[in-house]
Amino acid sequence: MIEPQEKPADSTERDRRVLALYEELLEIEQRLIPTGLHIFGRVPEQGARADMLRMVASFPRPEAGTRALTDLVAEKLGLSAYDTLLKAAAQDRRSLSDRERVDALVSGAIETFTTEGPEAAVAWLETNAGVSAEDSRPLFTLLEKVSAQLNTSSELESLVRALRGEYLEPGPGADIVQNPNILPTGRNTHAINPYTVPSEIAFTRAYRAVNRLLERHFNENGRYPRAMALVLWGLDNIKTQGEGVAQALWLLGVRPVRDALNRATEVEVIPLDKLNRPRIDVVMTISGIFRDLFGTTMGLLDRAVRSVAELDEPAEMNYVRRHVLEQVGDGGSTFDDAAVRVFSNAPGNYGTNVNFMVMGSEWENDDTLGDLFVTRKCFAYGRDSEGRAIEGREARLCMDRALARVEATYQNIDTFEIGITDVDHYFEYLGGVSKAVEKRARARPAVYLSDTLSPDAKIRSIEETVRLETRAKTLNPKWYEGVLRHGFRGVAEIESHVTNTFGWSATTGAVDDWIYTEVAKTYVLDQAMLDRLRNLNPHSARLLVGRLLEAHGRGFWVADSHIIEELREIFTRLEDSLEGVF
């Protein structure tokens, strides 16, 4: 956020601020948001299809022999690579206008493609940007295939075939930008071979994200975090071939080693003089789905931690060793107990239940949500030093001690489709573990999320991510008009975004007051909007108003007393009308 300043700034300073503001606006404008829900069996509309194609075209795809359209254009204009341009654009006007030129040419090419076809786009790009047909044709050939697949849907037919017990062709599960081979939809989604995780590509990509993360923490705190808690999910690691796993390995300073069958079954330590920084202690909090799908990877992560703990290295360069030795030295802990870092639910159990407790307003004490997280997730996985398998042994004390050292929490976000206020699972996990750390470490951790799909692997704080999601979705007319087309369900979607935002207040305190104020103004204090919501779905409308009042009541939202009074009156009227009292 750019804070307003009282003192008039000199012109250089003013330019810098205007550029920074412009950058923020661009980021919100260019964020790909789903404008409405997917309707089973229906293909995306023209505008949404063009947006997806633009994003697909903005990444290099060596497997398809194509380069990023942004890079092709930047290169022909004699500019640096688009990543570099993006970074420079935040600093100086010239780079910003260069970036705008590239963006405009890319949009022009995609528009020509969607209206007149691939050959027209190839010619357009040659005339307007000097990109040769030879360079751009492979990309438009790919886009033509993607576009055709986006334009057909066999979902309904496939469902019927599945119900008849017939064969369905398999297809990978992923994000379309991440992997366009997920198309066509309506196939039998398959996962991956867990032994391939993390892939080489995931390991390379993870390097960038981890460096950005550590760099940011260093710049803001003057040193690296000594211990971090990571959230690892199953479906995300399928989609990214193990990007989250690879990030954990990088933080520890180890790399996967493949056996004769090309399976990642071992790790190799990266020497400190290559790593050039301390090894970070990592507590892994893992979903039940990950545990079920990636048993072999759970073992790899546990082995990685234990190998690092055993290295004969100085304590200030190896925080895992430092913490394990300290814990053993304090007495009462064996090496095995002090080195437990891989935690998930008890076998057969899933989820943290933090989301249910938040949605049901069932907690009173500030510690309850974090304690619930630990109760659900304190089961250890791996092997002890004798090689005996530990498969979900309750280890609450080990988890308490590991979390007590954590200074930063983190989750890898790998999709454009689902953000941190779209579903309750992000706050139940990343919020839940952050709340557990807050009590045990007696300080709120820094909470980070990555955006590994952005070309420059951005790292954002939870505060920044909540602001961005709120501006791009919850308060964006394009988004809410999109979901309101779905009537009853649309109002439920809006309410659910507000409740998920509230979940971030409950677990991390990362939601600014203005967010609730603007939500109230947009959906409740605007009479026409309130009438629409009430007519479409009075239950969700009442829940939404109730949630805003709860945010105020719990001290998450410092609001103008007039606003609160008005909300209370509206809430009572909504309740009365639902109960049939007028």
Q: Per CB under 6 A, does 430 bind ligand BEZ?
A: no
Distance CA 25, CA 197 (A): 37
Q: Per CB under 6 A, does 248 bind ligand BEZ?
A: no
Which of 290/516 has CB closer to ligand BEZ?
290
Question: How many degrees, rounded to 5, is the angle at CA 340 between CA 337 and CA 346?
Answer: 105
Q: Give the interface segment with ligand BEZ, choosing from 94-102, 147-155, 228-236, 525-533 (CB under 6 A).
A: 228-236
List the one residue out of 264, 406, 276, 426 whose CA is nearest residue 341: 406
Q: Per CB under 6 A, does 503 bind ligand BEZ?
A: no
Q: Give the interface segment with ligand BEZ, choosing from 51-59, 111-119, 227-235, 530-538 (CB under 6 A).
A: 227-235
Which of 158/411 has CB closer to ligand BEZ?
411
Q: Per CB under 6 A, does 289 bind ligand BEZ?
A: yes
Q: 3-class secondary structure for 292-342?
A: HHCHHHHHHHHHHHHHHHCCCCCHHHEHHHHHHHHHHHCCCCCHHHHCCCE
Q: Per CB under 6 A, does 291 bind ligand BEZ?
A: no
Q: What is the DSSP string of 151-193?
A: T---HHHHHHHHHTT----EEE---TTT-GGG-SSSSEEE---
Which of 82/290 has CB closer to ligand BEZ?
290
Q: 3-class secondary structure for 360-392?
A: CCCCCCCCHHHHHHHHHHCEEEEECCCCCEEEE
Cβ atoms of 170 and 142 within 8 Å: the answer is no
Return phi, psi of residue 149, to 5°: -70, -35
Cβ atoms of 381 and 392 within 8 Å: the answer is yes
Least distance from ligand BEZ to the Cβ atom of residue 392, Å:
16
Distance CA 574, CA 310 (A): 62
Q: Give the interface segment with ligand BEZ, choosing from 61-69, 231-239, 320-328, 472-480 (CB under 6 A).
A: 231-239
CA dihedral 321, 322, 324, 326 (to 10 degrees): 150
Q: Per CB under 6 A, does 319 bind ligand BEZ?
A: no
Taking CB under 6 A as the rule, which mask of x and - marks residues 451-470 in contact with ligand BEZ? --------------------
Which of 72/298 has CB closer to ligand BEZ?
298
Cβ atoms of 432 and 354 within 8 Å: the answer is yes
Q: Per CB under 6 A, does 420 bind ligand BEZ?
A: no
Least distance from ligand BEZ to the Cβ atom of residue 240, Å:
11
Q: Give the interface segment with ligand BEZ, choosing from 75-83, 158-166, 230-238, 491-499 (CB under 6 A).
A: 230-238
Options 321, 341, 401, 425; binder of ligand BEZ; rule CB under 6 A: 425
Q: Per CB under 6 A, does 480 bind ligand BEZ?
A: no
Which of 377/425 has CB closer to ligand BEZ?
425
Is omega for the bond preceding 138 within 30 degrees of 0, making it cis? no
Q: Per CB under 6 A, does 192 bind ligand BEZ?
A: no
Q: Give the interface segment with ligand BEZ, choosing from 39-47, 285-293, 334-342, 487-495 (CB under 6 A).
A: 285-293
Which of 255/376 has CB closer to ligand BEZ?
376
Interacting residues with ligand BEZ between 193 and 222 (CB under 6 A): none
- Sign of the alpha-carbon dihedral angle for 380, 375, 280, 331: negative
Which of 203/290 has CB closer to ligand BEZ?
290
Which of 351/455 has CB closer to ligand BEZ?
351
Least distance from ligand BEZ to the Cβ atom of residue 377, Å:
12
Identify residue 555 by its one-letter amino acid code: G
List the one residue out of 502, 465, 459, 495 whose CA is nearest residue 480: 495
Which of 206/289 has CB closer to ligand BEZ?
289
Q: Per CB under 6 A, does 113 bind ligand BEZ?
A: no
553 by DSSP, 3-state: which?
Answer: helix
Q: Per CB under 6 A, does 343 bind ligand BEZ?
A: no
Which of 194/234 has CB closer to ligand BEZ?
234
Joined together, the tokens standing for residue 254 give 């180890």
Q: Which residues of 298-322 are buried (b: 16+ CB within 10 A; e: fewer)?
A: bbbbbbbbbbbbbbebeeeebbbbb
Joined together, the tokens standing for residue 360 give 């049901």
DSSP 455: T
Q: Per CB under 6 A, does 235 bind ligand BEZ?
A: yes
Altogether, the residues listed in the chain come to a count of: 582
Return phi, psi of residue 262, to 5°: 65, 30
Joined together, the tokens standing for residue 165 give 């017990």
Q: Per CB under 6 A, does 376 bind ligand BEZ?
A: no
Q: Give the interface segment with ligand BEZ, choosing from 282-290, 364-372, 374-382, 430-438 (CB under 6 A).
A: 282-290
Cβ atoms of 40 and 156 within 8 Å: the answer is yes
- Number of residues lying near ligand BEZ (CB under 6 A): 7
Distance CA 372, CA 368 (A): 6
Which of 290/448 has CB closer to ligand BEZ?
290
Least distance from ligand BEZ to the Cβ atom of residue 403, Å:
19
Q: Per CB under 6 A, does 290 bind ligand BEZ?
A: yes
Q: Give the interface segment with ligand BEZ, choosing from 27-35, 128-136, 261-269, 286-294 (CB under 6 A).
A: 286-294
Residues forming a β-bridge with 266: 257
Distance CA 405, CA 445 (A): 10
Q: Per CB under 6 A, does 482 bind ligand BEZ?
A: no
Residues forming a β-bridge with 254: 269
Which of 289/570 has CB closer to ligand BEZ?
289
Q: Per CB under 6 A, does 287 bind ligand BEZ?
A: yes
Which of 416/571 has CB closer to ligand BEZ?
416
Which of 229/545 has CB closer to ligand BEZ?
229
Residues that bind ligand BEZ (CB under 6 A): 233-235, 287, 289-290, 425
